[in-house]
Structure 1
């Protein structure tokens, strides 16, 4: 695919997501977006991103990064770019407040005022409990030349606003992850904060499975907040952990997976990495996107009772999912490119 050529801009794509906060799932979304762009003919030197930690992001990805909290930096980044890509994640939701919706809507508006085309891929939408949140979400996605979502619930929410969206798996499913042997003597366990009752049920279910199978349990944190939650669950006696590993890359996860024979967890990207690694797994669905993933791959759910592990998706199915992500992503880039070039 050809890159943008019509206007003299430094960057073809400005990436916007929850980048630079130390959450592995969001960093993998950034990595996947960059890889998908490269596969469509957009090299890293033609991509920039907005980050909470610009210097770290530049070192990690080899692209230009701008401070997401600086209005001046946002303006500079937009002025130097042809399109703005909402690159995966649950950006428009108001679980705790409407601040996330306000921030991302504001950046979309700045981009549109400066003439950028806006597109979105791998999005989850909701929950949206406030009228303001719904209005901001409608305004942001209504400005997109193409929208891709990662779960049916999000497509239904946008559909209720009169906005069409393509459905494809999470962007991270497009990343190459080596299959683990699955012959270790550990269960990997992940819990996320903010859903204590569910985290406790997941911990109890994991511990019951470990005891009945004669296995140890290794805690896997995708963020510092996960690390604290796992430590809290262990100190409460709900799960006995052989240790807690904070993983900061898919390579870190693969090293842990090689020692494991299964996985039980809450975070979406923990479950995706476990599935791609070929580990038998069980999930704890704290929101629609996780529930949708578990339904898509027939992943067993734990509720604190007897927990069983489901077979992971086959390597062939994983390849099909990656191809589906790439197809919808390429459609989005074509939409942004054609409108930018006036074709």
Structure 2
């Protein structure tokens, strides 16, 4: 069986690459994956899969005609807050696949926010036409229940991604704090300056080695470089491409301060304590589900000392997720795999 996988792949975003790697890990053995990508050559080389340009209609139609099934492969694909075009791109592809008679699956989805009536209408039609649907948060589940669409609710699939240790980390001190910030309009120069000074204070108080981890170089690397200039030599920017290594970077990390959703998921799954800086409802959903402390970007305190003292207290006194809780989340995540097995063998 040939299955076409569609998501925000090949765009240099570590979280979306982790979703693709997890999906490939979970596919039944009899399935041959075909991937729509922003960089087909790189995707083919990294994962050993057939890949087509996600922005070429001719290549998309060629890929669809060659496949038996189509999968929305995880993430917040269907939302109209950060992009009004995104739901029509993904929704349009799903609609074409359904018209062509492919078996369609929505896998590991985080739905919404959907503010426009037309995108809500398209999303409802798309999900209703799928043979199987799984979502990663309770709000997405509530929306589908309101639409009377059968589905499975399970934690984000990346919980189940197999991690690999990062060899160069062996040379760094064991007391580590990871930071994953990204470019965003609410992360103003003043807020970034305050956060950077608070990180300096945190490092002084804890003597921890700080890992600055860009999840998407185009959005994250410049910020990491600005922060690095203010820190002592007891810090390092760590750029990793392979999702398994990106997740492995959080092994033996004491604490993460993260804006990136999948940095928080990866860190928590590796037993790291998490403090969130939220720019998107999907971060808030995770914070609620796992009781992760943090601030919305627009509500970050103006007092640098308050920020740094909050982080110092968290570093010294907080508890990470228990191994039992992590195992429970991992077990629940495998429901996404069972869904694929059922949908692609019926």
Tell me which interval the TM-score lies in, with the shorter structure as reference length: 0.7 to 0.9
CA shift in 2, pair 1:205/1:85, >3 Å: farther
Give the deviation of 1:296 after TM superposition: 2.8
2:231 matches 1:231: no
2:175 matches 1:185: yes
Equivalent residue, structure 2, for 1:300: 293
Equivalent residue, structure 1, for 2:125: 139
Q: TM-score, normalised by structure 2?
A: 0.83
Structure 2: how far apart are the matches of 1:142 and 1:319?
A: 32
Alpha-carbon contact 2:252-2:272 (below 8 Å) kept:
no
RMSD: 2.8
Give the deviation of 1:274 after TM superposition: 1.2
Equivalent residue, structure 2, for 1:33: 23
The secondary structure found in structure 1 opposite 2:289 is helix
Equivalent residue, structure 1, for 2:116: 130
- Structure 1: gaps (5+ residues): 5-10, 339-343
CA shift in 2, pair 1:207/1:294, >3 Å: farther
- Higher mean alpha-carbon deviation, 284-293 vs 266-275, is at 284-293
Once the two structures are superposed, the pairs formed by residues 9-158 of structure 1 within 5 Å of their partners are 11=2, 13-37=3-27, 40-43=28-31, 46-158=32-144
Structure 2: how far apart are the matches of 1:57 and 1:178?
A: 19
1:39-76 CA distances to partner (integer Å, 9 max, x unpaired)?
x3335xx1111111111111111111111111111111
Alpha-carbon contact 1:299-1:311 (below 8 Å) kept:
no
Equivalent residue, structure 1, for 2:304: none
Equivalent residue, structure 2, for 1:7: none
Structure 1: how far apart are the matches of 2:325 and 2:164?
A: 14
Structure 2: how far apart are the matches of 1:59 and 1:35?
A: 16
Give the deviation of 1:240 after TM superposition: 7.1
2:316 matches 1:323: no
1:5-54 CA distances to partner (integer Å, 9 max, x unpaired)?
xxxxxx1x2111110001111111001001111xx3335xx111111111
Equivalent residue, structure 2, for 1:171: 157
2:183 matches 1:196: no
Alpha-carbon contact 2:68-2:103 (below 8 Å) kept:
yes
Structure 1: how far apart are the matches of 2:116 and 2:198?
A: 34
The secondary structure found in structure 2 opposite 1:19 is coil
Give the deviation of 1:256 after TM superposition: 4.1
Alpha-carbon contact 1:145-1:336 (below 8 Å) kept:
no
Match for residue 254 of structure 2 among 261, 264, 269? 261
Structure 2: how far apart are the matches of 1:253 and 1:77?
A: 30
1:115-140 CA distances to partner (integer Å, 9 max, x unpaired)?
10111111111122222221221122
Structure 1: how far apart are the matches of 2:151 and 2:201?
A: 41
Alpha-carbon contact 1:19-1:52 (below 8 Å) kept:
yes
Equivalent residue, structure 2, for 1:290: 283
- The aligned length equals 322
Give the deviation of 1:233 after TM superposition: 5.5
Alpha-carbon contact 1:183-1:260 (below 8 Å) kept:
no
